[in-house]
Structure 1
Amino acid sequence: MFSNNEIFHETGPKHLTAMDWKNTDYQRSVVASLVQGVYSLERDRQTNNPGRYREGNAEPWWTSFNFHLDEPLIDDKRIFGAIYKYNGKYASADSDVPEYVIAFRGTLLMPETMINDLALNVKCFLNKLEESPRFKLALNYVERFVEANGARNVWLAGHSSGSAIALLVGKKMILKMEWFPKAYLFNPPFLSFPIGLLEDEKVKKRIHFVQRVVKAGLTYFAAEPSKLRMEDHFAMLSSWTPHLFVNRADIVCAEYIAYFERKVGAGETMTLAENNSTRNLVSHVVFRKDLKDATHLLPSAHLIVNESHPNKKAADNSSYSLEAHTISQWWRPDVRCRSTLYQDRQRVLSIVD
């Protein structure tokens, strides 16, 4: 059975009647729809009716915006991503119009995907996403695609755990090939306790202070080669500004707001500490394991916050908290967003759409 949320003509962005790729609302809504198309493709597959999308389920999520499905990305028969090709004209690698969009879905609680998707979530939150077969497959797909087609105007996109995959793929492609893709990451997981959701400002400040002191101490004792490698990584990543779409009421991604709003302490040690996770640093300093990149942390980004429901009472409602993690919020005509550009964790520009 399909809910109305799966049917484009019921809940999709039908208000987008004209193509306007220079409009940020249009870009956000279209890319979110392409991610929804991946969810719908896998739902179609599991209902043993792969042609049903032609009748109104999966296909309108991309054909409505002049894309066609170039290739589904498959992990042991399960569709976890898709490569879409734009049918119209695009100007160049710097164009507002993508030539291709590679999109990854998040968790799908259906019989054939539930166990694997939940296992992927566990790896993600343990900062072991890089070790998962799905991530390795995703990176292989993207590497082969870019090598075969050139680093043209290819965008990455994802929702929830799918955005974690897209984010880590983007990082790896920058470090391996110096390819800086445009990325749209919806509700990306922030892999720590969501301190920002606490109400007491004094408690939040104390927790953040203790975290910073502990991380700074661990970073001080980190091996010098590891620190130099991390410095190089941060320097390369600082010019990459993926679009992170977060909701204050979403426990999965809300901490990104506090992360970018916190000022980075002075000095090399504090910079390294702020751009790594406590778990990684403990593993490196105490257990002598290699210092890994923290999957979720970035020095720069376009942070887009859904400001449509700033009401605290609404944010405390459990049903609203679940809604705050949905992909559908990002194409609604009444969504109101605040977009802030951060470069090396410094606020550069803030705009309310």
Structure 2
Amino acid sequence: ETYLFNPPFPITPIERLRSQRLKDSLRYARSLITARLATAVKRSESLARGDQYDANFVKLSSWIPHLFVNPGDPLCAEYIGYFEHREKMVAMGAAPIERVASQNSLVSLVSWAIGKLIEPTHLIPSACLAINRSSSDQRTFKQAHSIN
């Protein structure tokens, strides 16, 4: 078993936006763009690198880490939206799009297009999220990460 506390999710922290509609729209657009770009890049590249990464993602499918995240922490809060968004995409019938998007990141796709391989290590197939919703622990970013 794996327990990760405030693991970093290196992506724009959409979770910090107030409007749920805006968050959903941005995540939906990101999924569409990522899926389209993944299809184009993998179609035009030799598929050896992309297939290897896809196989690695599938191997991770049986691993379900426990992620302890704080919605107030911009470094890890996006895991909350990442997994909620995946469920919403399946519910609205867009599972094929999300399946492709969840296995790729825009940074890795651009790197593949220019001939480099950067695997998106923050993308995991599933997790058991423990979300700290405590309002008594409203610390600043520097306090939360012991930065003096």
TM-score normalized by the length of structure 1: 0.35
Cα distance, 1:216–1:240 mapped onto 2, change above 3 Å: same
Deviation track 1:276-299 (CA, whole Å, cap 9, x = no partner) reads: 2111111212x1222x32111100
- Identity percentage over the alignment? 37
Rounded to whole Å, the distance in 2 between the matches of 1:242 and 1:252 is 18
Corresponding residue SS for 2:140: helix
Structure that is richer in helix per residue: 2
Residue 284, structure 1, aligned to residue 103, structure 2: no
Structure 2 matches for 1:279-318, cutoff 5 A? Answer: 279-285=107-113, 287-290=114-117, 292-309=118-135
Provide the C-alpha distance between the structure 2 equivalents of 1:228 and 1:234, rounded to a whole number of angstroms: 10
Distance 2:101 2:75 in 1: 22
Q: Which letter maps to 1:296? A: H
Q: Which structure 1 residue ranges, 5 or more long, are not aligned?
A: 1-181, 328-353
CA-CA distance at 1:324 after TM superposition:
7.7
Question: Within 2, Cα distance between the matches of 1:198 and 1:218?
Answer: 25
Of 236, 240, 258, the residue aligned with 2:81 is 258
Structure 2 unaligned blocks of 5 or more: none
| Residues 32 and 101 in structure 2, CA contact (< 8 A), matched pair in contact too | no
Provide the alpha-carbon RMSD of the alignment: 2.3
Out of 65, 72, 75, the residue aligned to residue 249 of structure 1 is 72
1:271 matched to 2:90: no
Q: Could you tell me how far apart the structure 1 residues matched to 2:17 and 2:51 are?
A: 35
CA contact (8 A) 2:5 2:68 kept: yes
List per-residue Cα deviations over 1:66-92 (Å, max 9, x = no partner): xxxxxxxxxxxxxxxxxxxxxxxxxxx
Matched, 1:237 2:84: no
CA shift, 1:185, in A, is: 1.2
> Is the contact made by 1:247 and 1:324 (CA closer than 8 Å) also made in structure 2?
no
Give every structure 1 segment of 4 or more consecutive aligned residues whose post-TM-superposition deviation is greater than 3 Å: 323-327
Paired residue for 1:198?
Answer: 17
Structure with greater strand percent? 1
Which amino acid in the other structure matches residue 279 of structure 1? V
Larger radius of gyration: 1
**Which residue identity is paired with 2:33?**
V
Query: Per the alignment, do residues 307 and 323 of structure 1 end up closer, same or farther by CA in structure 2, a change over 3 Å counting?
Result: farther
